[in-house]
A and B are shown apart, each in its own frame.
Chain A
Amino acid sequence: MPTALDTVALARIRSLELRAKVIVEGLWRGLHRSPYHGFSVEFSEYRAYVQGDDPRAIDWKVLARSDRTFIKKFEDETNLRCQLVVDHSRSMKFGSGALIKGDYAATLAATLALFLMQQGDAVGVTTFGKTLQEHIPARNRPGHLRRLMLELEKPSPEGLTSLDLSIGQLAGLLRKRGMVCLVSDLLAPVEKLEQQLALLGAMGHDMVIFHVMDRAEIEFSFEKVAHFRDLETGQERFVDPGLAREAYLQRFNAHRDFIRKACEHQGIEYHEVPTDRPVEEVLFKFLSARSRKKGGLRR
């Protein structure tokens, strides 16, 4: 496992792109040291020539330098389309640690985008609040990454989390099959959520959900009695954490369990992502899970 860069240190890096690069570089370094080396979503590399390979693919320069025969895979070879769907609703503004959920989600999405683009996959970004806000289709061409970063870097998430509307719209936009990564806090009524997840699963996409949660939301670690304000609706409610904690945790865990079960049921890969967990670690686990699922990496 790579050495994780903690979220506090990460939060100090202003530029999202730089933040993503730092994480990805760390991840690469970690990959070389890791016993699980060589896994990836879609991986382009040199490999030793074996009989039957197309001699056109032999890298002659390497052969000339080292007298060894390697097959060079073309860098522009793309066979994975990944659409990163990032929640930009107001609830993502909440954060008790170094990063708010929105920033963490953007960092995670940017890191994924960079990682995937570095290995030649096409990546697109879709942001949504109450409705779909921005949709950048998956591509892999020079300058595309920059566009993705700019989109992810857009400040102040807006609107309510309305997955039903957004996913409905998204289903219309994603024609080609590929991987869809949903990064969201999934704070929406569970009934609708199940329907939408089922819809996405039915479209044949390879669905991955990163469920972003703040530590304070998981543990409800508030001490003081206060008026709690809903960031999405602006509604206020008087809450004594001491009294409300038990009921809250019960409901929150039920909600989380429901989502996890629904994902399991629909064959959706589900990742719980507390914002205090290093992004590298999340990515590493994600990659590990992918490798196990597919039984190895595409070479």
Chain B
Amino acid sequence: MTWLFPLYLLGAAAVLGPILMHLRRRPPQERQDFGSLMFLDAQVPMPVSKRRLEHWLLLLLRCLLLILLALMFARPLWRVEQAGTPGEGKAVMVLLDRSASMRRGDLWPKAVEKALAHLATAAQDRVAVAVFDRAWTPVWTFTEDRESAASRTAVIRQRLAEISPGWAGTDMGQALLDASASLGSEPGLTGVSKRIVVISDFQEGSRLDALRSRVWPETVSVVADPVVVADLNNLSLSWVASGGEEQLIAGNRPTGTRLGRVRVVNSRESKVEDYTLAWEKGGAEVLSGHLPAGASRVLSAPPVADAVLARVVKVGGDVWDFDNRVFVAPPQPRRVRVVFVGEEKSREEAASPLYYLSRALQQTPALLPELAVVAPSASRLPPETDMVFVPAGPLSEPMVKGLRGWLEAGGTAAVVAGEGMGPALRTLSGQSVTGISLADEKSGDYRMLGEVKSAHPLMRPFADERLRDFTKLRFWKHRRLELAKGAEAVLEVIARFDNGAPALLSQPVGKGRLIILTSGWHPADSQLALSTKFVPLLYGWMEAAGFRNEEASSLLVGDALPLEPGEAADIMKPDGQRLAVTAGTTVRAESVGFYSVGGKQPRQIAVNLPPEESRVVPLDPGKLREFGVVLDSAVAALPGTGLALEKERLAVGEQEGRQRAWLWFLAAALGVLALETWLAGRMREGRALAT
């Protein structure tokens, strides 16, 4: 039995009052005037030591009444244990947090120690041990426990000694769900009380949202056993955004430029407020500043002295440096080899398609298009061609065949249909297009796009409806395609003119894709090249061809490394370990730092710590209750967190509210009071009769 307001028990000391009052012969405090003392004898007051209690039954009742009142106000309750008592045989799953925040101080050794202590108290129980960060990894399973329970402690100790905290974030919710699922699915545990012991730093950044997705089983209780560090000062750093595109072009960084922005965050209960910010190597100067506890600030990265060396920004000022670095990979635009089948000399002619294409395909932080021109009479494409543009014009037979082969192998080609290109298109499209004729448009008349399938992958840049205004785009000249029967099944019309004639078509050819335009982009055919839609359209096609024009955002630990699909790669981890990956394998980043991915286009990938992991202020384990988790009443609240105590008090209060044991004490007190009144009345009556 415990008490909700134990301080009220002090009220029981009030029994001293009746005891003193019941001591006979207390020295009189009152004066009584009287006519004459001639008939009265003097009496000596009885000394304190000789006093005796009178009316002890009445006194007993009065004391009992006061004690009952004190007990009532202290609000007694019986703690209902969620799990069975030790020795009854339980299934205990010990979960150890091995997230990056457990790297602080001696948290991990402490956690291991606690886990072993839990094992020692659970000698009669079925035990499993697992570690978790963003995922749940078993260390010792119930099956192993069933088979070799005798060697349990030694094996677990050894296995835990081999594990150390990683760099991943904490998904406590998922870990709990996995653990409870494991407890639920394990054979031989039916009817046994199940308990999960979570040993963690219960940092604020722990994810619990997975718990919302499922109803927590009533039969599984959770014991939260927090490990704490005294020092809660923590400064953390994360990458916000890269700087302007012009600054990111490798090799063009002048000394003193600032590269991108970083966010510095000071932990809520931190006492450190001054920080320094600098590149670990290759920095020009060290920035310092003041950041109050709980605040965050986005700052420009410090100036760079050596652009090649400047790859790690570091914040200084706190003790825990696991989250003090941010890794910034150098910009590595992907090379895209674009081939234009036409005349090289037309590159500077304003009327030619090449003129516009060469100006549209500019370098971006993510892509580095390299435009090569191949004469139509050439027999084959250059090796390692990524994309081909074919303007309206005659093509040599070998070129058409080469192109067809290249398309089947996975290439993407955009072909402008022109007069006399019927046979070539027939070959390229695999007989879908049977002929081409010039649409008979009156002179001075124009066509506009009437129907655009903006949901098509080729039109992805126009997915946003604000960008879908094609009304200013006019086409002076276009061709009609004669399509074979059943060609609609393979030849997809992406855009039509307002007269219903197809404007843009797409057809998969083998592994590749053929894009057919019925009107060219150069001014003789249309205004397309001069419109704002042209460049996005080209990059949309390049994206469809596998060249996404987006700077890969910084990866976090646990994310999959962006490997070329269907391609084996050689990966070098930040610790220098090499990993050969076969095609189709997913590799997740496990550590912060730079991953070097080899292959056709070798590049460096920066992997950083999940920012939530830096939120190290302890979380109240009682918060788990909000997610429906049956938290064992023996939950160890974090010392020094008032909120935790308050939550615990509320939970106990709730329990007390259900039991309402105080009502019994009140009833007993009223009964005693009635008895006391009756007894006192009877005694007074007796005295009155006597006198």
A residues neighboring B (CB under 8 Å): 91-94, 101, 185, 187, 189, 214, 217, 222, 224-233, 235-240, 243-244, 247-248, 251-252, 255
A35 to chain B, nearest CB (A): 38
Query: Can you name 18 extra interface pairs (CB under 8 A) apart from A227-B31, A247-B40, A255-B39?
Result: A91-B36, A187-B38, A224-B30, A226-B32, A229-B31, A230-B35, A230-B37, A231-B34, A233-B37, A236-B31, A237-B41, A237-B42, A237-B43, A238-B43, A239-B42, A240-B25, A244-B40, A248-B39
Partner of A230, one of B34, B41, B43, B45: B34
Partner of B36, one of A187, A222, A238: A187
- Complex contact A238–B45 (CB within 8 A): yes
- Taken together as a complex, chains A and B put the C-alpha atoms of A228 and B41 apart, in Å, by 10
- Taken together as a complex, chains A and B put the C-alpha atoms of A248 and B40 apart, in Å, by 6
Q: Which of B33, B34, B37 has the most CB of A within 10 A?
A: B34
- Complex contact A228–B40 (CB within 8 A): yes
- Taken together as a complex, chains A and B put the C-alpha atoms of A228 and B28 apart, in Å, by 10
- Complex contact A240–B32 (CB within 8 A): no
- Taken together as a complex, chains A and B put the C-alpha atoms of A101 and B42 apart, in Å, by 25
Report chain B residues within 8 Å CB of A187: 35-36, 38
- What is the number of residues of chain B that contact chain A, defined by CB distance less than 8 Å? 18
- Complex contact A238–B35 (CB within 8 A): no
Contacts A224-B28, A252-B39 given; does A238 touch B34 at CB 8 Å: no
- Complex contact B43–A229 (CB within 8 A): no
B291 to chain A, nearest CB (A): 75
B7 contacts partner chain A, Cβ-Cβ < 8 Å: no
Partner of A222, one of B32, B38, B41, B43: B32
- Complex contact A251–B39 (CB within 8 A): yes
- Complex contact A239–B35 (CB within 8 A): no
B150 contacts partner chain A, Cβ-Cβ < 8 Å: no
Report chain A residues within 8 Å CB of B35: 91-92, 94, 101, 185, 187, 214, 217, 230-232
The 6 closest A-B CB pairs, nearest first, are A94-B35, A251-B39, A226-B32, A226-B30, A187-B36, A91-B35
- Taken together as a complex, chains A and B put the C-alpha atoms of A216 and B33 apart, in Å, by 11
B44 contacts partner chain A, Cβ-Cβ < 8 Å: yes
Report chain B residues within 8 Å CB of A230: 34-37
- Taken together as a complex, chains A and B put the C-alpha atoms of A21 and B44 apart, in Å, by 49
- 21 residue pairs A–B, Cβ–Cβ below 8 Å: A91-B36, A92-B35, A94-B35, A185-B35, A187-B36, A224-B30, A224-B32, A225-B25, A225-B30, A227-B30, A228-B34, A231-B33, A232-B36, A237-B42, A238-B44, A238-B45, A239-B32, A239-B41, A244-B40, A247-B40, A248-B40
Report chain A residues within 8 Å CB of B38: 187, 189, 251
B691 to chain A, nearest CB (A): 8
Partner of A244, one of B33, B36, B41, B44: B41
Report chain B residues within 8 Å CB of A94: 33-35
B 1-41 binary contact with A (CB < 8 Å = 1; else 0): 00000000000000000000000010010111111111111
Report chain A residues within 8 Å CB of B40: 228, 237, 239, 244, 247-248
- Taken together as a complex, chains A and B put the C-alpha atoms of A252 and B41 apart, in Å, by 12
- Complex contact A93–B45 (CB within 8 A): no
- Taken together as a complex, chains A and B put the C-alpha atoms of A185 and B38 apart, in Å, by 13
B residues neighboring A (CB under 8 Å): 25, 28, 30-45
Report chain A residues within 8 Å CB of B28: 224-227, 238
- Complex contact B43–A228 (CB within 8 A): no
Report chain A residues within 8 Å CB of B36: 91, 187, 230-232
- Taken together as a complex, chains A and B put the C-alpha atoms of A101 and B33 apart, in Å, by 13
- Taken together as a complex, chains A and B put the C-alpha atoms of A237 and B40 apart, in Å, by 8
- Taken together as a complex, chains A and B put the C-alpha atoms of A251 and B38 apart, in Å, by 9
- Taken together as a complex, chains A and B put the C-alpha atoms of A21 and B387 apart, in Å, by 139
Partner of A226, one of B31, B41, B44: B31
Q: Look across to chain B and name the residue whose beta carbon is closest to the beta carbon of A214.
A: B35
Report chain B residues within 8 Å CB of A243: 43
- Complex contact B32–A228 (CB within 8 A): yes
Report chain A residues within 8 Å CB of B34: 94, 217, 228-231
B594 to chain A, nearest CB (A): 96
Q: Look across to chain B and name the residue whose beta carbon is closest to the beta carbon of A233.
A: B37
- Taken together as a complex, chains A and B put the C-alpha atoms of A213 and B44 apart, in Å, by 28
B124 to chain A, nearest CB (A): 68
- Taken together as a complex, chains A and B put the C-alpha atoms of A282 and B25 apart, in Å, by 41
- Taken together as a complex, chains A and B put the C-alpha atoms of A224 and B32 apart, in Å, by 9
Q: Look across to chain A and name the residue whose beta carbon is closest to the beta carbon of B32.
A: A226
Report chain A residues within 8 Å CB of B33: 93-94, 228-229, 231
Report chain B residues within 8 Å CB of A217: 34-35
- Complex contact B44–A237 (CB within 8 A): no
Q: Which of B31, B32, B35, B43 has the most CB of A within 10 A?
A: B35
Report chain A residues within 8 Å CB of B44: 238
- Taken together as a complex, chains A and B put the C-alpha atoms of A239 and B45 apart, in Å, by 9
- Taken together as a complex, chains A and B put the C-alpha atoms of A187 and B32 apart, in Å, by 18
A157 to chain B, nearest CB (A): 11
- Taken together as a complex, chains A and B put the C-alpha atoms of A235 and B31 apart, in Å, by 11
- Taken together as a complex, chains A and B put the C-alpha atoms of A144 and B32 apart, in Å, by 39
Q: Which of B25, B43, B44 has the most CB of A within 10 A?
A: B43
Q: Look across to chain B and name the residue whose beta carbon is closest to the beta carbon of A90.
A: B35
Report chain A residues within 8 Å CB of B25: 225, 240
Partner of B37, one of A93, A228, A240, A255: A228
B657 to chain A, nearest CB (A): 48
Report chain A residues within 8 Å CB of B37: 228, 230, 233, 235, 237
Q: Look across to chain A and name the residue whose beta carbon is closest to the beta carbon of B44.
A: A238
Q: Look across to chain B and name the residue whose beta carbon is closest to the beta carbon of A219.
A: B691
A239 to chain B, nearest CB (A): 6
Report chain A residues within 8 Å CB of B39: 247-248, 251-252, 255
A87 to chain B, nearest CB (A): 11
Report chain A residues within 8 Å CB of B30: 224-227
Report chain A residues within 8 Å CB of B41: 237, 239, 244, 247
B688 to chain A, nearest CB (A): 10
Report chain B residues within 8 Å CB of A101: 35
- Taken together as a complex, chains A and B put the C-alpha atoms of A185 and B36 apart, in Å, by 10
A26 to chain B, nearest CB (A): 29
Q: Look across to chain B and name the residue whose beta carbon is closest to the beta carbon of A251.
A: B39
Q: Look across to chain B and name the residue whose beta carbon is closest to the beta carbon of A213.
A: B35
- Taken together as a complex, chains A and B put the C-alpha atoms of A238 and B311 apart, in Å, by 100
Q: Look across to chain A and name the residue whose beta carbon is closest to the beta carbon of B46.
A: A240
Report chain A residues within 8 Å CB of B42: 237-239
A194 to chain B, nearest CB (A): 16
Q: Look across to chain B and name the residue whose beta carbon is closest to the beta carbon of A222.
A: B32
Report chain B residues within 8 Å CB of A185: 35
- Taken together as a complex, chains A and B put the C-alpha atoms of A231 and B31 apart, in Å, by 12
Q: Look across to chain B and name the residue whose beta carbon is closest to the beta carbon of A227.
A: B31
Q: Which of B28, B40, B41, B45 has the most CB of A within 10 A?
A: B40
- Taken together as a complex, chains A and B put the C-alpha atoms of A252 and B39 apart, in Å, by 6
Report chain B residues within 8 Å CB of A240: 25, 43
B572 to chain A, nearest CB (A): 101
- Taken together as a complex, chains A and B put the C-alpha atoms of A231 and B35 apart, in Å, by 6
Report chain A residues within 8 Å CB of B32: 222, 224, 226-229, 239
- Complex contact A244–B31 (CB within 8 A): no
